[in-house]
């Protein structure tokens, strides 16, 4: 883990660099000493410039103004350009780079241009004053353009970081919205399952009441159905409440490219598809262009309605992701394994299809939706690329031995 050291609210590295810059200016001023025009008074002006440079990052415009005033004192005193005037160039660079508004940098450039002319006029040399002015102007202009270039790059990097942070926040918000919508859909479907179970219980209970005297055996069978259906309805109600009360964060992003995959041929909102309709679902995907090879291993038990719906939805979303990401013409292997303690769904595509011409209609939220559905039944979901270049999804849904279900003949 990288530890970032802070001093005076700023990175230690920046503080050390600024101290080194200021120390360099002080040393240049001391080197002139009494031999330079103005003597130690000029050295004091240079030291004041060096102290001002310590704050050039936090207050660039104020530092630029302070250094300009000190340089004006130097001009008024008639000392001419001195070695420590390198502080003027450093202050100009700092204003252009760090000021909140580029207008401050433009003003600093204009002031520096005036200072260039005044400094050139105070030089006692054989060459014309305008030659010295051109030389000073070239140095000052180079420093100003350098500061502008660095400022542009810094603002560009900051804009990229802000854009990345905004996209990440939007992505998290969309993921939370997708999870909330999928939970609402799951709750609605589980509500339909519970309502159907209650209707069955009422019909069976009414039948048992009328058959107690005439056909006790049939009445006992009806009561047994009521008890089994009631247990299943209670379990589904518990899961429904769990879905409505769940507040965990969304799972990983969907699909190979992180986008939620739409569901093909989405059913009406209040329609609850059954597992017996799985061949019809596979035919729809084959008609859409997938080469689906389905195998069923083990003896299928009589699954609870909610769990049966979850298996159907997992297959539907996995095949939809395969169609979207692997493309038309891809080969998909669907394996449905029934064991005494679990149902395992495994969907693997080879990733060798061609892109779909028109995306399928949206009906789910890809891995987010599948993960939410599987979690409701305490299952597990794994998804990821295959070594051959395709994509695989595997969901394991445990079965409760206390459901009292019988194996279908």
Q: pLDDT digit string (tens) for 207-243? A: 777 777 777 787 777 777 777 777 767 776 766 666 6
Q: Pick the last residue of a domain from 124, 142, 157.
A: 124
**Higher-pLDDT residue of 398, 363:** 398
Note down the domain range covering 25. 6-124
Q: What's the pLDDT tens digit per position in 182-216?
A: 777 767 666 666 665 676 677 667 777 777 777 77
Instruction: Work out the number of other CB atoms within 10 angstroms of the CB of residue 177.
Output: 12
What is the total count of domains within the chain? Answer: 2
Give the closest residue to 339 by CA, choosing from 378, 381, 380, 301: 301
Does a structural domain hold residue 202?
no
pLDDT of residue 293: 92
User: What is the torsion angle, in degrees rounded to the nearest 10, for the CA atoms of residue 200, residue 202, residue 208 and residue 211?
Assistant: -100
Could you give the CA distance from residue 284 to residue 306 in angstroms, rounded to a whole number? 23
Task: Clarify whether residues 260 and 409 are in a common domain.
Answer: yes
Q: CB within 8 A of 381, min separation 6: which ones?
A: 314, 367, 370, 371, 374, 375, 393, 394, 395, 396
pLDDT of residue 380: 92
Does a structural domain hold residue 172?
no
pLDDT band at 344, cuts 50/70/90?
very high
Could you give the CA distance from residue 370 to residue 254 in angstroms, rounded to a whole number? 10
pLDDT band at 332, cuts 50/70/90?
very high
Q: Is the whole-model pTM more than 0.75?
A: no
CB 251 within 8 A of CB 371: yes
Average the pLDDT over each of 162-166, 242-246, 308-312 and give the range with the smallest value. Answer: 242-246
Q: Pick the last residue of a domain from 70, 94, 124.
A: 124
What's the rounded mean pLDDT across residues 110-132?
79
Identify the bridge partners of residue 383 per DSSP, sorted by sequence position: 393
CATH code (residue 332): 3.30.565.10
Give the closest residue to 303 by CA, choosing from 279, 277, 274, 282: 274
- Cα dihedral 79, 81, 84, 89 sign: positive
Q: Pick the last residue of a domain from 124, 156, 183.
A: 124
Does a structural domain hold residue 132?
no
What's the rounded mean pLDDT across residues 91-116?
90
Instruction: Work out the number of other CB atoms within 10 angstroms of the CB of residue 360.
Output: 17
Euclidean distance between the first and the last CA atom of the chain, given in angstroms as a whole number: 60
pLDDT band at 249, cuts 50/70/90?
very low
Task: Clarify whether residues 263 and 407 are in a common domain.
Answer: yes
């Amino acid at each position: 883990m990288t530890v970032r050291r802070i001093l005076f609210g700023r990175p230690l590295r920046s503080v050390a660099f600024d101290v080194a810059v200021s120390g360099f200016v002080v040393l240049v001023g001391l080197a002139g000493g009494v031999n330079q025009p103005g003597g130690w008074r000029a050295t004091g002006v240079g030291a004041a410039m060096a102290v001002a440079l310590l704050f050039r990052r936090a207050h660039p415009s104020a530092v630029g103004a302070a250094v300009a005033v000190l340089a004006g004192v130097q001009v008024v005193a008639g000392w001419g350009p001195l070695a420590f005037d390198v502080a003027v160039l450093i202050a100009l660079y700092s204003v252009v780079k760090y000021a909140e508004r580029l207008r401050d940098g433009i003003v600093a450039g204009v002031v520096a241009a005036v200072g260039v002319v005044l400094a050139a006029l105070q030089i006692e040399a054989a060459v014309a004053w305008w030659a010295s002015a051109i030389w000073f102007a070239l140095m000052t202009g180079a420093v100003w353009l350098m500061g502008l270039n660095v400022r542009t790059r810094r603002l560009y990097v900051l804009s990229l970081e802000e854009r990345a942070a905004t996209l990440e926040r939007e992505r998290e918000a969309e993921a939370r919205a997708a999870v909330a919508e999928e939970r609402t859909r799951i709750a609605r479907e589980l509500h339909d399952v519970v309502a159907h179970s209650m209707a069955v219980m009422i019909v069976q209970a009414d039948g048992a009441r009328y058959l107690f005297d005439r056909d006790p055996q049939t009445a006992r069978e009806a009561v047994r159905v009521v008890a089994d259906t009631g247990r299943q309805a209670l379990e589904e109600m518990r899961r429904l409440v769990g879905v409505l009360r769940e507040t965990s964060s969304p799972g990983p992003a969907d699909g190979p490219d992180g986008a939620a995959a739409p569901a093909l041929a989405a059913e009406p909102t209040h329609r609850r598809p059954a597992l017996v309709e799985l061949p019809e679902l596979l035919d729809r995907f084959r008609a859409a262009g997938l080469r689906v090879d389905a195998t069923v291993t083990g003896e299928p038990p009589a699954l609870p309605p909610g769990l049966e719906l979850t298996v159907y939805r997992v297959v539907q979303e996995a095949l939809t992701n395969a169609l979207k990401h692997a493309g038309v013409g891809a080969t998909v292997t669907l394996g449905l394994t029934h064991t005494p303690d679990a149902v395992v769904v495994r969907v693997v595509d080879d990733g060798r299809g061609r892109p779909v011409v028109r995306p399928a209609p949206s009906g789910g939220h890809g891995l987010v939706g599948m993960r939410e559905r599987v979690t409701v039944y305490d299952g597990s979901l794994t998804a990821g690329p295959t070594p051959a270049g395709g994509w695989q999804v595997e969901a394991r849904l445990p079965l409760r031995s206390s459901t009292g279900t019988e194996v279908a003949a």
